[in-house]
Structure 1
Amino acid sequence: MIHPPQTSADSPADHPVSVRELLLARLDGSDLPQEVRSLLRKLLPGERARSTEGRAGPVQLRSITAAGWRGIGPRTVLELPPGPGLVVVAGPNGSGKSSFAEAAETALTGRNSRWEKRRAGDWKQGWRNLHSPDVEPEVSVELSVGGHGEPVTVRRTWYGAKVDEARTRAEGPDGSEQELDEIVDADTLDLARPFLPYSELGSMINGTLSDLHDAFFKLLGLELLAELDERVKDAVSECEKADKHEKQRTEQLRGELAELDDPRARDAVEALSGSRPDTGRVRALLASRSPAAEAELAGLRRQAGLTGPDLREVSGAVTRLREAAAGAEDARHGSAENARRLAMLLEAALDHRRRSPSPDCPVCGNAGQLDHAWAERARAEVERLQREAVEAEAALQEVTKARQALHDVIEPVPAWLQTHDSPLAELWRQWARCRSITDPAELAGRAERAAVALDEACRQVREDSVRRLADQDGEWQPMAVRLTDWLAVAEAAEAARARRPHVNKARAWLRTVINELRDERLRPFAERSQEVWQQLCEHSSVTLGSVTLAGTPGRGRVELGVTVDDMTAPAYSVMSQGELHSLALSLFLPRATHEASPFGFLVIDDPVQSMDPEKVEGLARVLDTVAKDRQVIVFTHDTRLQQAIDHLGIRATVLRVTRQTDSVVAVETVTDPVDQALSEARAISLDRWVPQDVADRVLPAMCRGAVEVACLMTARRRLRDEHGLSLREVEERIASVDRTKEYAALALLGDGQQNAQSAVERIRQGGWKLIESFNSGTHCALPTVEDRRQLVSDTQALVKAILRSGTVLTRVPAPANDGGTR
């Protein structure tokens, strides 16, 4: 489990400190000027508390079910053992095992990350099983939720031919519908996603590092830092823009003033010249008239710049509203509206049935009418009617959007005009009152008329004001108006220039603090990633060093410190495919096992491909560690993972998926191979109807097979623990022998070429004679059932002795996992 630092050095270990509090503490302890501190406090966003109220946890998987989905035809259930532990779902390519992994992800998230980045046509045409067109597609997971393990089923069904025409619902053990958001929080599912599909194993470097960066940023609670950094950057940009805008306006205005033959214009040019314009001189120049005249002039300037409604925009919004209203009227009188009403009626009836224990109809009073069969027909009818009602609902939504769009273009009465008692003010009030009209037809008509009338009035007032301004001061007055506007720009630029040094200091300080806090919070994840990498790639020349976050959400990336023989290199250019897969696991596991995650399970699809034997053995160790407190479900077609699990003595439940014709998929639990071999031999020995010649040939061969399996299991432990051989070396040593006596020598002596007779006799008297009898089985008669039972009994005793001899060399086995085998 990952435990990111949640406290500062000065706070108690049990008192969580937010990123905002840490930032304020560092700000208080800094040597920044007071102006910079005040600026940062003003820009600092408020705390964003993440509410987990109503969210259940922890969540584990009980089963995965699929029907008519991908490689699975008829409905098939993959039962999973409860609680923490390692589960290996094995099967050859095309057996349907990955379809179970995709089914679990799709049921919970509504998406299939393996396919969503491929061509849309491939996914949309291939998501249904081709061999079972009549099977209703369905994927579901049965979850164990909360401390009491309440069973909840999350089911996704399809009502159309398209992959997105689906519905997801959560059901309690009694079939009652529950709110999915109260069981699985969508944000948490996105941040601590417990699914790692094969498609992400190889594409982690070149495809999803930016997404991983953003996920880590949120998971570590660093969004506040990103938002503050963006606000400070915007403040810097605003200062730069204000200064640039003032220079452009000054240069433009100076050129226009120079063309006027007016002493005031020449005075203004002098005031605007130099390295910094003289705003005080410009202000005095503009204030040379009386206050009353200045007030009148200000009013005229305001009216000269008056603009009314945009008739083109209003016309477009009115047209859209009328068309939407006509469409809604057609839908209201059509079958779509009736379908919607009928669907609501049926849903009400279904809701009544869920709430009432009686199946009697409350309307007609007939007994037993609302039974299970009626409910199934009603649900199907509701889904059909809902599809038909889409047209009516879309039309009503379009009316609402169109009405809002028209309301949005209606501007309120300007503040300076609100107290006026003039035709213009009254026309503007009539225009503003249109925002309170909800009837589409009335709104369209009145808004259209009011806009035309107001636009004409604004034009008349504007032209009259411009004429009166021109009459007052001729050519100078328009320039005075422009100088007044320029003053506002110049004052804003002056304030921005005074503020800019503080903003720059704030940004420089913040960048350093952001990097420190980000690295501090990421450090436990980075260390865990390095631990996983070392376990997976112990013998690799590639070393994973630092794991850091660079940039901010949307523009960030995860940076990986990768070296090859102490030489720095880009990860994607020096890593093999197996190392890329190992890297993906190293980055995935710390995120998915974060202590805040409510998901007590991980689903990993096909992580073994492209890994060499050492990495497979490292993978088995990593999975075993994670499975101590997580339910780890691994899908693979590669038998090497199971071999590594056996080799290391790791306890795991192994489920085998097989696929027959027409996509008929079956799941079975793989039992202990020794027990399985003995059980099969015992069944033959007890069958009185097995012919004598068959029993004489088959039974010794089956017993020999049980002994050889026990020898192989013991040999793997001995060669690993006593001789220190790797998985590759162990398998090479095993492949060098092919006779039962050699297997026994390899198991008991570690060398298949030695004579194991005394070693066998030491652990089981008569054992060597039994092994020799296997090789002469065709000449050994087993005339009675008792003879056959005795052979199996002797074989079982020898097998136990061989396995016991290997157990002495190894650690004491962990307690057996319920329902699991090793």
Structure 2
Amino acid sequence: MSDTTSLRDLLLARLPGSGLSAEEQALLRDLLPATQSRSGARSGTVYMRSITASGWRGIGPAATVRLKPGPGLTLVAGRNGSGKSSFAEAAEMALTGDNFRWQGRTQVWKKGWRNLHEHSAPEVAVELGFDVGSDGEGAKEPVTVRRVWYGEGLEESRTVVEEAGQATGEVVHDVIDAEQLSLYRPFLPYTQLGAVINGPLTTLHDEISRILGLELLSDTDAAARARAKTLTDTENAAKALTATVIQELSEVDDPRAKEAITALSGRSPDLDAVRALLQGHGAADEAHLARLRRLADLERPDRPLIAKAVTRLRSAAAAADDARHGSAEDARQLIKLLDAALEHRRRHPDVSGCPVCGSTDLLDRSWAERTRAQVERLQTEAAEAEAAHRELVHSVREVHDLMRPAPAWLQADEPSLATLWRDLVACRTVRDPRELADRAERAEAVLGDACDQVREDARRRVTAQDGRWQPVAVRLSAWLGQAEAAQAAKPALKQVKAVRAWVRALTDELRDARFKPFADQSGQIWRLLCERSSVLLGAIGLTGVGPQRQVSLPVSVDDADAPAFGVMSQGELHSLALSLFIPRATHQDSPFGFLVIDDPVQSMDPEKVDGLAKVLDLYAQHRQVVVFTHDTRLEEAIQRLGLRATVMRVSRQTDSVVHVSSVSDPVSQALAEARAIALDPHLPPEVADRVLPSMCRLALEAAYQDTARRALREAGVGQHAIQERVTRPGPLTGLAALAMGIRGKEGREVLDAVARDHGPWARELIQGLNQASHQAPATPVGDRVALVDRTQRLAKEVLAR
């Protein structure tokens, strides 16, 4: 799967030759979703090293399933209720925080998640290995993702990421990318087998499309579809509004309304005529209304404030008159005269004559000192007159300041009122306090009353103007905006349709090319699972776009087309689900090197179980495939077909105590027993020399049987015939011949072939084991451990064929 960026580059590179116009190409670029940065999850192929659970589902005290972190098939078997599925669900819960078992279920289904016998806090954990090379041995430091519950609810949990037993502070998405976990989800519980095919085919279509890396195109088409809907809605809204406005206009007795109806009633409404009508209305009536609205909001001079200032002025004038006719005023006037004389003396210190009366030697130093002392005495006496004078000056200024000019617009809107306002302003030239008070008071009263009258008149006239036509004119203006939007939407909608057509064609092309390997893989899985079924599955495909998108599942029964779900048995439906799930979970771009499948055998007949064993073996060549099952038929099929698998047994005892034990394969078991005999110091030598060769021969028989089964199966021999041939009594060389594909050869020729493949030592080993197994050895075995080592070496090489 190409990532979004590379698909974006491909799309943009094809634009110049797309046949789209420049505007349509610009539209497509605008519709493209923004690029998204990749997650910072750890790199490398992820394998599982172990699954641990405690207090979880059917598991009480902590129990662990240990796994080899690399490609291979592991079968975890156990009866119903043993706790095997609890391990599968524990792994899913630890990494995803959810279980398919509970998706869409009520709370009743979630009540059994805690174990009834373990009272400590539940925990589930998965130890992961990250392989950055090709050896699959977990080249990077293992990481444990642990989910711990701190409350009673299923959702009351937290995750801890650990390395070397220590918390790293990371979250699970720092280890595994959440998007990839959703995209290539490597867990298939039994409950999901049915959901894969029972769910909406649109959902399955989208999930597969995401794997194909076409979400950029589907998102672009969705954005274009949304844009087209918006444009279409705009056109439809304009049409609906036209009918409504025409009805409203028909109810207005006004020539302009009739003109508007004519403009709106044509096949294509005359937008220019409507604009002209509204512009005329705006140029004339709106200017008039604007004048009236200004007058309606006119504010008169502030009467209370002016009245207060006039009262203060009159009081200040009276106080000034009283002071003027009293001794205080005389003192103030005398101070002025004496200050002037002192100023003259200061400016002319050498002149002592009086400039007023002409007396000589009068304004000397002694006179100046006496005069200054007199001024100081008179200042105290003149303070009252000075304060009255200052108050009068301030009062006059205050009244002048309140005589503000009229607004500039009033000159043109209401000239008569502007004249009255000028009379008010003229008061600013009056200096006499009493005259100023009287004129200000009269001017304000006349102007204020006039302002009130003009304002009320303007308000009445505005109300009269905003009659029945004004709302209709506003409605017509709104219609014009909608109609203009609809007019602009037409070419835009045409552009969107052209863009969608091109994106759909590109989607079909890339989808067919990218989906073919997926479809081929699903077909291969189906054929292995349903080798002898009368139901044939054709080439799976992705069809349709938008709401019509789905997964095509062409099915025929005895060459007659049939609906897939209607003619398939439950086993075939589960086989179909596996055929669709496995290619997704094992996609080449998936970082998950493991696949966890729970109870896939149910509802399958024996032939399909054999097919399932073949499918699992096929994918176990490059994946860590872990299968949980209670059905012994899968284990039997694996053994019968000579497939390699690690088998683990889960058993449950009282109080939910769960044990997991490894089940050795026949070769390993025979070698282990042989090595135990070789290392037993208490076993009499004559007994060891007699029993040990037989045990070693059993190990080689098991190895040759395993290899022979695989060779015969690859040669197309049926299962019944294979079982008969590999279990037929005979010399070890007969099994070796089957394994090497050299049927019909004499024992000596088979041994020569063994020597060519493995070396002379291997021929000598087989000869020695055959002889010792049928008669007492003439000579002691010698180094018993060395004999077991040679047997193990040959068995390993035979199994590796």
Q: TM-score, normalised by structure 2?
A: 0.65
Equivalent of residue 584 in structure 1, options 568, 577, 586: 577
Equivalent residue, structure 2, for 1:245: 237
Give, as a single letter, the amino acid of the residue that structure 2 aligns with 1:158.
W
Segment of structure 1 superposing worse, 219-228 or 157-166: 219-228
- Residue 566 (structure 2) aligns with: 573
Query: 1:688–1:32: structure 2 CA closer, same or farther, 3 Å change rule?
Result: closer
Higher Rg = 2
> Which residue number corresponds to residue 124 of structure 2?
139
In structure 1, what is the Cα distance between the partners aligned to 2:249 and 2:115?
A: 79
Quick check: 1:172–1:178 contact (8 Å CA) kept in 2?
no
1:685 is displaced (CA, Å) by 10
Three-state SS of the structure 2 residue aligned to 1:65 is strand
Structure 2 residue identity aligned to 1:586: S
* 2:444 match: none
Alignment check: 8 A CA contact 2:33 2:219 kept: no
Partner of 1:166: 157
Task: Say which is worse superposed, 189-198 or 514-523, in terms of deviation.
Answer: 514-523
Structure 1 residues 544-579: Cα deviation after superposition (integer angstroms, max 9, x where no partner):
333333456888533323333343333222223332
In the alignment, the residues of structure 1 paired with residue 590 and residue 671 of structure 2 have an alpha-carbon distance, to the nearest angstrom, of 44
Distance 1:23 1:710 in 2: 60
Aligned to 2:336: none
Q: Which amino acid aligns with 1:636?
A: T
Query: Hey, what's the Cα distance between the residues in 1 that align with 2:46 and 2:563?
Result: 38
Contact 1:711/1:743, CA 8 A, preserved across alignment:
no
The one-letter amino acid paired with 1:199 is T
Match of 1:41 among 29, 37, 51: 29
Aligned to 1:29: 17
Question: Percent identity, aligned pairs only?
Answer: 49
1:294 has 2:283 as partner: no
Does the residue aligned with 1:167 lie in a helix, a strand or coil?
A: strand
Question: 1:96 & 1:732 partners in 2: Cα distance?
Answer: 33
Mapping of 1:590-605 within 5 angstroms? 590-605=583-598
The equivalent of 2:522 in structure 1 is 529
Q: CA deviation at 1:108?
A: 0.8
Distance 1:175 1:659 in 2: 31
Q: Helix, strand or coil: the match of 2:166?
A: coil
- SS state at 2:153 partner: coil
User: Does the Cα contact within 8 Å between 1:526 and 1:547 map onto a contact in 2?
Assistant: yes
Residue in structure 1 matching 2:651, options 626, 650, 658: 658
Of 547, 557, 562, the match for 2:550: 557
Do 2:28 and 2:499's aligned partners in 1 also have CA atoms closer than 8 Å? yes
- Per the alignment, residue 128 of structure 1 pairs with 114
In structure 1, what is the Cα distance between the partners aligned to 2:269 and 2:162? Answer: 73
Aligned mates of 2:536, 2:278 — CA distance in 1: 72
Query: Who is 1:188 aligned against?
Result: 180
Structure 1 251/208 Cα, relative in aligned 2: closer, same or farther at 3 Å?
Answer: closer
Match of 2:661 among 664, 668, 671: 668
Contact 2:41/2:177 (CA < 8 Å) preserved in 1?
no
2 CA distance for matches of 1:299 and 1:745? 119
Choose which of 618, 622, 632 in structure 2 pairs with 1:629. 622
Instruction: Give the deviation of 1:154 after TM superposition.
Output: 0.9
1:80-119 CA distances to partner (integer Å, 9 max, x unpaired)? 1122222222223222221111111111111111343455
- Counterpart pick for 2:74 among 63, 87, 107: 87
1:290-341 Cα deviation digits (max 9, x unpaired): 637536758999xx9xxxxxxxxxxxxxxxxxxxxxxxxxxxxxxxxxxxxx
8 Å Cα contact 1:90-1:654 kept in structure 2? yes
Please state how far the C-alpha of 1:508 moved relative to its aligned partner: 3.2
Amino acid at match of 1:19: L
Supply the AA of the counterpart residue of 1:151.
Answer: P
Within the candidate set 257, 279, 282, 2:249 is matched to 257
Task: Indicate the SS of the match to 1:142.
Answer: strand
Contact kept, 8 Å, 2:40 with 2:177, in 1: the verdict is: no
- Paired residue for 1:177, among 168, 182, 190? 168
Report 1:669-818 matches (<5 A).
Answer: 669-673=662-666, 675-676=668-669, 721=711, 728-730=719-721, 733=724, 813-814=799-800
- Cα gap change, 1:677 to 1:245, in 2 (>3 Å): closer
SS of the equivalent of 2:155 reads coil
Equivalent residue, structure 2, for 1:97 = 84
Q: Secondary structure at the match of 1:595?
A: coil
TM-superposed CA distance for 1:543, in Å, is 3.1
Find the residue that maps to 1:287 and give its secondary structure: helix
1:514-525 matches, within 5 Å, as 514-525=507-518
- Report deviation, 1:705: 10
| Change beyond 3 A, Cα 1:662–1:545 | same
Residue 601 (structure 2) pairs with residue 608 (structure 1): yes
What's the counterpart of residue 315 of structure 1?
Answer: none
Aligned partner of residue 161 in structure 2, secondary structure: strand
| CA–CA separation in structure 1 for the residues paired with 2:575 and 2:183 | 21
1:506 corresponds to: 499
- Closer, same or farther: CA 689–517 of 1 in aligned 2, 3 Å: closer
User: Are the counterparts in 1 of residues 196 and 581 from structure 2 also a CA contact under 8 Å?
Assistant: no
State the distance in 1 between where 2:113 and 2:459 align.
Answer: 69
Distance 1:721 1:62, change over 3 A: closer
Deviations 1:158-211 (A, max 9, x none): 122222221211112141333122111212111111111122223321136444
Write out per-residue CA displacement over residues 56-81 of structure 1, whole angstroms, 9 at most, x where no aligned residue: 43321111111111121111111111
Q: 1:73, 1:662 within 8 Å by CA — same for their partners in 2? A: yes
Task: From the superposition, tell whether residues 502 and 759 of structure 1 become closer, same or farther in structure 2 (CA, over 3 Å).
Answer: closer
- What are the superposed Cα offsets for residues 618-643 of structure 1, whole Å, 9 maximum, x if unpaired? 33333333233322222223333333
- The answer to whether the 8 A contact 1:155-1:169 is kept is yes
| Counterpart for residue 18 of structure 1 | 6
Please, what is the CA RMSD of the aligned residues?
A: 4.6
Counterpart residue number, 1:202: 194
Letter in 2 for 1:168: T
Deviations 1:468-527 (A, max 9, x none): 654226332222222222211222222223433333333333333322233333232222
Output one character per residue of 1:8-41: Cα deviation in whole Å (capped at 9) or x when no partner.
xxxxxxxx97222333334321334444334333
- Do the aligned residues in 2 keep the contact of 1:716 with 1:730 (CA within 8 Å)? no
Q: Deviations over 1:119-164 (max 9, x none)?
A: 531322x11222x232431110111136342121111111222222
The match for 1:111 is 98
| Structure 1 residues 254 and 208, CA gap change in structure 2 (3 angstroms) | closer
Question: Structure 2: how far apart are the matches of 1:63 and 1:275?
Answer: 75
Whole-Å Cα distance in 1 between the matches of residues 633 and 601 of structure 2? 8
Moved more, 520-529 or 609-618: 609-618
Structure 2 CA distance for aligned equivalents of residues 227 and 168 of structure 1: 33
Q: Is the Cα contact below 8 Å between 2:51 and 2:66 reproduced in 1? A: yes
Partners in 2 of 1:97 and 1:23 — Cα distance?
Answer: 48
1:256-275 to 2 correspondence within 5 Å?
Answer: 256-275=248-267
CA contact 2:610–2:634 (8 Å) conserved in 1: yes
The alpha-carbon deviation at position 720 of structure 1 amounts to 6.7
Q: Hey, what's the Cα distance between the residues in 2 that align with 1:722 and 1:495? A: 73
Residue 49 of structure 1, CA deviation: 3.3
Report the residue type matching 1:99 in the other structure.
Answer: S
Separation in structure 2 between the aligned mates of residue 632 and residue 245 of structure 1, nearest angstrom: 58
Summarize the Cα distance change of 1:283–1:465 in structure 2 as closer, same or farther, 3 Å threshold.
farther
Under a length normalisation based on structure 1, what TM-score does the superposition of the two structures give?
0.63
What is the one-letter code of the residue matched to 2:162?
E
Change (3 A) 1:167 1:623: same
Once residues 632 and 513 of structure 1 are traced to their aligned partners in structure 2, the CA distance between those partners, rounded to angstroms, is 36
Unpaired runs of at least 5, structure 2: 133-138, 297-455, 739-745, 752-765
Aligned-pair distance for 1:257?
2.2
Aligned: 1:71 with 2:63: no
Relative to structure 1, is the Cα distance of residues 525 and 468 closer, same or farther in structure 2, using a 3 angstrom cutoff? farther
> Match of 2:110, SS?
helix
Query: Paired residue for 2:363?
Result: none
Change (3 A) 1:664 1:469: same
Question: What is the identity, as a one-letter code, of the residue corresponding to 1:596?
Answer: D
